[in-house]
């Protein structure tokens, strides 16, 4: 006899939405196949719904253990995290849903001991990223362009791949040690990643880069409260004088003086090119489309990002209230713009309505004048027929018969003409 009774519900498909709590209770009351049948979806789709709602599912063999009288522990429902779906209904495509404005948590002082993390631990966002990046193709200046896009937001050369991943891993672990979740941007709303300009000193005129640097399909974000902050780690470049040697451009400063003297000026020319510096830059940015905020931390010869980690974590967390305020202002601007657009459309519709009314009146008047003209024509024709009929009896013999025959033919040719019928067929302004 199992200690847990499996509750069977009728297989009628529910019409209303289901909450996380309701789905959690149902998932642990009966097998996924029966739940999926009840909602009219496949069990794999129902499993994806549980994943989106952060609802734990029974492990393999759970129901068999219960039937045999063995215990199978049931984990509690975890707290909803940013990006977790709260409500689901049958037919939902599980796309972006309406979400409240992001809100930063109350300010708190972080103890430096709290940010101590193990160097051997790996954050889930960076697990497996090294192999995928290393297998990617190499583009100009040696930047890596992996074939996969759902990856941690790192844009570096092969030489800086390992240091960049190590720094990103430590940064993410410290942020989570401070109580803030790092993840790929969820699908609960639109999160945008601003383009990267890798130049250490941005050029005065923007240049189109070909081939383009790699960019992820979803930005890497940290949630401070419910405020998402995007994180991009990239290697910077600098513009140097370069010379074309053996099919490649080399910085003139790195060509040995002896080799430089041997180069023939006719077949070797110099130009200005961008080269990777080996220095990393961490950029934190606002991923919400209606707000603009960025902050960067750059390496130099004397300053490395690793030495600034705790300070960077504090500043990223401290930026949450600023970003929340900017998002609120941006949403208010969008709301005002939407209202102005709706008012503009209302005025356009009102003008169009007045134009159609005036046009209808003009057309109705023209048609009415035409009806009156027809009525006048009918009276003239009818007067002609009446005068002809009155004159026929005065004829004798064949002339009278011929006149009656002609009159009949004339009436058939003209047809019946009714002024009242013409008036009834006329449409007034309101009918138009």
Quick: pLDDT tens for 78-98.
877 766 788 888 777 654 445
| For helices 309-318 and 320-391, angle between their N-to-C axes, nearest 10 degrees | 40
Average pLDDT over residues 256-279: 70
pLDDT tops 90 at residue 221: yes
Among 9-13, 65-69, 279-283, name the one with the lowest average pLDDT: 9-13
The conformation of residue 109, written as its DSSP 8-state character, comes to: P
pLDDT at 27: 93
Instruction: Give which of 253, 258, 256, 255 is closest to 241, Cα–Cα.
Output: 253
pLDDT at 292 over 90: yes
What does the pLDDT average to over 386-410?
83
pLDDT score, position 160: 95
**Chain segment 319-349, per-residue pLDDT in tens:** 999 999 999 999 999 899 989 998 999 999 9
Per-residue pLDDT at 259: 64
CA angle (324 as vertex; 318, 325 as ends), nearest 5: 105
Of 242, 302, 238, 307, the closest CA to residue 276 belongs to: 238
What the block records as the tokens of 349 is 């519709």
- The least confident of 68-72, 302-306, 419-423 is 419-423
pLDDT at 298 over 80: yes
Looking at residue 307, the DSSP 8-state letter turns out to be G
Q: According to the model, what pLDDT value does residue 126 have?
A: 94
Over the chain, what is the mean pLDDT? 84
pLDDT at 233 over 90: yes
Q: How confident is the model at residue 3 (pLDDT cuts 50, 70, 90)?
A: very low
Predicted TM-score of the model (pTM): 0.65
Give the model's confidence band at 184: pLDDT under 50 very low, under 70 low, under 90 confident, else very high: very high
Confidence of residue 409 (pLDDT cuts 50, 70, 90): confident
The confidence score (pLDDT) of residue 10 equals 42
Residue with tokens 């063995």: 70
Mean pLDDT in residue range 6-31: 74
- Sequence-distant (≥ 6) Cβ neighbours of residue 156 within 8 angstroms: 143, 144, 164, 233, 234, 235, 280
Assign 132 a pLDDT band (cuts: 50, 70, 90).
very high
CA distances from 186 to 53, 145, 230, 294, 309 (A): 12, 23, 12, 20, 25
Residue 5 in this model has a pLDDT that exceeds 50: no
- For the segment 188-210, the average pLDDT, to the nearest whole number, is 82
Ranges 204-218, 255-269, 365-379: which has the least confidence: 255-269
Which stretch of 9-23, 164-178, 199-213 has the lowest confidence by average pLDDT?
A: 9-23
Residue 148, pLDDT > 80, answer yes
pLDDT greater than 60 at residue 239: yes
Buried b (16+ CB within 10 A) or exposed e, 151-163: bbbbbbbeebbeb
Q: Look at residue 125 in the predicted model and tell me its pLDDT.
A: 94
| Residue 418 pLDDT | 66
Confidence of residue 143 (pLDDT cuts 50, 70, 90): very high
Q: Quick one: what percent of the chain has pLDDT higher than 90?
A: 38
Residue (of 72, 74, 57) closest to 23 by Cα position: 57
Q: Which residues pair with 18 in a beta bridge?
A: 88
The pLDDT assigned to 8 comes to: 40
Query: Does pLDDT of 1 surpass 60?
Result: no
């Amino acid at each position: 006899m199992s200690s847990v009774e499996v509750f069977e519900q009728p297989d009628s498909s529910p019409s209303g939405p289901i909450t996380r709590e309701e789905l959690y209770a149902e998932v642990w009351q009966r097998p996924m196949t029966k739940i999926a049948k009840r909602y009219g979806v496949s069990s794999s789709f129902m499993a994806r719904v549980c994943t989106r709602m952060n609802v734990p599912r029974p492990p393999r063999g759970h129901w068999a253990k219960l039937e045999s009288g063995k215990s199978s522990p049931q984990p509690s429902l975890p707290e909803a995290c940013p990006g977790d779906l709260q409500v689901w209904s049958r037919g939902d495509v599980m796309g972006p849903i309406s979400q409240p404005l992001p809100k930063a948590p109350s300010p708190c002082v972080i103890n430096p001991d709290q940010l101590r993390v193990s160097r051997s631990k790996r954050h889930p966002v960076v697990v497996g990223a090294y192999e995928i990046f290393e297998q990617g193709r190499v583009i100009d200046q040696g930047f890596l362009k992996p074939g996969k896009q759902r990856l941690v937001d790192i844009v570096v050369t092969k030489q800086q791949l390992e240091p960049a991943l190590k720094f990103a891993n430590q940064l993410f672990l410290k942020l989570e040690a401070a109580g803030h979740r790092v993840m790929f941007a969820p699908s609960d709303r639109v999160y945008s990643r601003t383009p990267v300009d890798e130049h250490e000193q941005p050029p005065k005129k923007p240049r189109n880069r070909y081939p383009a640097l790699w960019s992820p399909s979803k930005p890497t974000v940290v949630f401070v409260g419910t405020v998402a902050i995007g994180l991009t780690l990239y290697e910077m470049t600098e513009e140097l004088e370069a010379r074309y040697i053996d099919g490649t451009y080399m910085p003139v400063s790195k060509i040995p003086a002896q080799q430089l003297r041997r180069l023939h000026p006719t077949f070797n020319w110099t130009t200005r090119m961008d080269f990777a510096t080996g220095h990393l830059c961490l950029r934190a940015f606002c991923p919400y489309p209606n707000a603009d905020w960025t902050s960067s931390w750059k390496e130099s010869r004397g300053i490395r990002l690793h030495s600034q980690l705790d300070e960077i974590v504090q500043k990223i967390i401290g930026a949450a209230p600023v970003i929340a305020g900017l998002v609120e202002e941006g949403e208010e601007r969008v709301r005002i713009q939407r209202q102005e657009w709706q008012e503009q459309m209302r005025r356009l519709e009102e003008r169009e309505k007045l134009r159609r009314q005036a046009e209808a009146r003009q057309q109705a008047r023209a048609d009415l004048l035409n009806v009156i003209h027809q009525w006048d024509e009918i009276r003239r024709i009818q007067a002609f027929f009446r005068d002809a009929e009155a004159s026929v009896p005065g004829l004798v013999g064949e002339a009278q018969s011929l006149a009656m025959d002609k009159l009949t033919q004339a009436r058939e040719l003209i047809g019946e003409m009714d002024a009242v019928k013409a008036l009834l067929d006329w449409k007034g302004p309101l009918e138009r």
